[in-house]
Structure 1
Amino acid sequence: MELKQVIIAYKAGESESKAWAEKYSKALEKRNCKVLMGPSGFKDNPYPVFLSSVTNQIDLAIVFGGDGTALAAARELALASPLILAVNVGGHLGFLTEPFELCQDIEATLDRLESDLYAIQRRMMLQAQVLEGGRIKPQPMSDRFFCLNEICVKPASIDRMPTSILEMEVDGEVVDQFQGDGLIVSTPTGSTCYTASANGPIVHPGMEAMVITPICPLSLSSRPLVIPPGSVVNVWPLGEQEPVTKLWTDGSLGTTIWPGQRVSVTMANCLAKFIILREEHSFYHTLREKLSWAGTRIHYDNEHRNGSN
């Protein structure tokens, strides 16, 4: 990899994350690399400035923080689609990040990157847009929103907890109406986040699929659904007199959905590309380590696993 233009984002308000971002920035500049650096957080979005300031292709995005910081990078850089090195500094679970210990030696890490001594994990993303009008030529009423984890349609109000009634259509056919707290459309990556909390299925991130999960439905028959990645999912809020239903992307507010409008969700035509520095990288190990997936409480010896037969 040639490191000519690199962007660095660090977790806003996290001093250690900022300190390491500054160290990497200085090391890269010594290698004649142009660096753009800034904080990323709930109230800080450096990526529009990054994208308007770059003069050439972005070779690499280095992100210091946790999963939220990594998600923001993947979401905001979706169309530019650079390689992302996410390092767990000040994060919590660290599902999407590389261990901090592997990146403490800055020069050795940069040498590895320039020598292509790493793996790349490509993860499917979703895109959503608010539409209005008929099926033939619907009117776009919002920008396109990208996500790596999930698109969520649910209401929000400062003075009450409204219940939503959502009608879901897949590839032109009405599947169900859900009454409850909302609806999640997630990627396999997002199946271990909000979707898992809503009792949705866990899907391996190496797959391409869309997972639809109702949030606290007022029905015992409402079930999660796994559908092909090429599907088109439309979600209509029903029975609303005022615009309380919102579109959320990876937990961030996207836009308001007005009565009569719908959210259309499809697979994005871009991938999130994460650099893997670990020599042993296992999705199942991550589930056991990060989500405390203990499995059965009684363990038996398997004398046949390494047998000669």
Structure 2
Amino acid sequence: MIFGVLGNPRKKDIPGVLQELKRSAGEIEIYYSEELKDLVPGGTGDQVLPLEEVVRRADVLFSLGGDGTFLKAARFSRGKPIVGINLGGLGFLNFFSPDQIPEVVNRLKRGEFYIEKRDALLALRSEKDEKFFALNDVSITITGSSRMIEIVVEADGELMSRYRADGIIVSTPTGSTAYNLAAGGPVVHPDVDAIIVTPICAHILSIRPVLLPSSTVVNITVRVKGEEKLMISADGQQQSMLVSGEKVSVRVDKGAVSMVKFEDTPGFFEILRKKLCWG
């Protein structure tokens, strides 16, 4: 087994976490992503490589940071299993704490784990051959202006809605507790095969979030007046400016992300109760 490690170097606890991971791994070979080059435990012979190469060589990826770091790991993972060690705030995607690292590594060595597959999203621009990958969500918003944008949404080619709003979010069930939730969208269990379309402050009160089958291809056409600029964002990390009148197609990438879990890993509703203070 080979470990690949990426993390957020700005987290104050990460030097100690890297040391503990190295101690727990023992003879297991570890490759570190370049952002950790100044923090890697010395004298180990382990290599610091570009993230793409770390992923190519690793059997299991460790994500050290908050949910943003996990989203980055997911985008580059190529389906490799990811262990999320939470060094951030809410940590919906990181199931383990730093003090669990020895136990996590020992269970990996013994094969006492299972893989939970999560759907992701793939978005494609009509004006350019540019693709976007998101575990949580793809959003389209206006930048540098308080004006609304005109949005036309189609589901498998059928007109679903036409309205003016501040933007639109297309989310996976995994991402339903992120931007979607903040915009008034529903919480959806990650086992549900669905895609969520949520308007951002629509100018029509009857416009509400819609759950669609995960097989649906969602086409979104956006228009602005004047020189305002539109931006597409995937998980808040992969971003690009859009042209007014451009169409964006979004579909589900089934089981694209693999998350490492154990039989006693907290369930979805236990995490919700803890993170969202549901009692």
Q: TM-score, normalised by structure 2?
A: 0.87
Asked if structure 2 preserves the Cα contact closer than 8 Å seen for 1:147 and 1:250, the reply is yes
Report the alpha carbon displacement of residue 23 of structure 1 after superposing the two structures with TM: 3.8
Report the alpha carbon displacement of residue 71 of structure 1 after superposing the two structures with TM: 1.4
The reply to whether residue 83 of structure 1 matches residue 81 of structure 2 is yes
Higher gyration radius (CA) = 1
Partner of 2:232: 247
SS at 1:39 equivalent = helix
Report the alpha carbon displacement of residue 130 of structure 1 after superposing the two structures with TM: 0.6
1-side partners of 2:168 and 2:29: how far apart?
A: 44
Partner of 2:167: 182
Once the two structures are superposed, the pairs formed by residues 49-64 of structure 1 within 5 Å of their partners are 49-52=50-53, 57-64=57-64
The reply to whether residue 24 of structure 1 matches residue 12 of structure 2 is no
Asked if structure 2 preserves the Cα contact closer than 8 Å seen for 1:9 and 1:21, the reply is no
The reply to whether residue 94 of structure 1 matches residue 91 of structure 2 is yes
2-side partners of 1:155 and 1:179: how far apart?
A: 12
1-side partners of 2:148 and 2:49: how far apart?
A: 35
Alignment deviations for residues 202-252 of structure 1 (CA, whole Å, 9 cap, x no partner): 110011210000001111111110001111111111244436111111122
1-side partners of 2:5 and 2:240: how far apart?
A: 27
2-side partners of 1:284 and 1:92: how far apart?
A: 18
Q: 1:129 aligns with which of 124, 133, 137?
A: 124
Q: 1:39 aligns with which of 35, 41, 65?
A: 35
Once the two structures are superposed, the pairs formed by residues 59-208 of structure 1 within 5 Å of their partners are 59-77=59-77, 80-89=78-87, 91-100=88-97, 103-105=100-102, 108-132=103-127, 141-157=128-144, 160-208=145-193
The gaps in structure 2 that reach 5 residues or longer are 37-47
Partner of 1:219: 204
State the 4+ residue runs in structure 1 displaced beyond 6 angstroms. Answer: none
2-side partners of 1:251 and 1:238: how far apart?
A: 21
Give the counterpart letter for 2:138 in structure 1: I
1-side partners of 2:162 and 2:172: how far apart?
A: 21
Cα root mean square deviation, aligned: 2.3
2-side partners of 1:222 and 1:260: how far apart?
A: 21
2-side partners of 1:48 and 1:203: how far apart?
A: 37
2-side partners of 1:48 and 1:215: how far apart?
A: 40
Alignment deviations for residues 67-124 of structure 1 (CA, whole Å, 9 cap, x no partner): 11111111232xx1110000112x101111123155243xx43221021112322111
Asked if structure 2 preserves the Cα contact closer than 8 Å seen for 1:152 and 1:182, the reply is yes
- The structure in which a higher percent of residues are strand is 2
Asked if structure 1 preserves the Cα contact closer than 8 Å seen for 2:5 and 2:54, the reply is no
Q: 1:285 aligns with which of 246, 250, 270?
A: 270
Asked if structure 2 preserves the Cα contact closer than 8 Å seen for 1:86 and 1:97, the reply is yes
SS at 1:126 equivalent = strand
Partner of 1:299: none
Asked if structure 1 preserves the Cα contact closer than 8 Å seen for 2:31 and 2:54, the reply is no
1-side partners of 2:93 and 2:273: how far apart?
A: 15
SS at 2:271 equivalent = helix
Give the counterpart letter for 1:146 in structure 2: F
The gaps in structure 1 that reach 5 residues or longer are 41-46, 133-140, 295-309
Once the two structures are superposed, the pairs formed by residues 258-277 of structure 1 within 5 Å of their partners are 258-277=243-262
Give the counterpart letter for 1:150 in structure 2: D
The alpha-carbon distance between structure 1 residues 94 and 32, as it changes in their structure 2 partners (threshold 3 A), is closer
Deviating more after overlay: 195-204 vs 267-276: 267-276
The alpha-carbon distance between structure 1 residues 265 and 282, as it changes in their structure 2 partners (threshold 3 A), is same
The alpha-carbon distance between structure 1 residues 27 and 104, as it changes in their structure 2 partners (threshold 3 A), is closer
Asked if structure 1 preserves the Cα contact closer than 8 Å seen for 2:174 and 2:190, the reply is yes
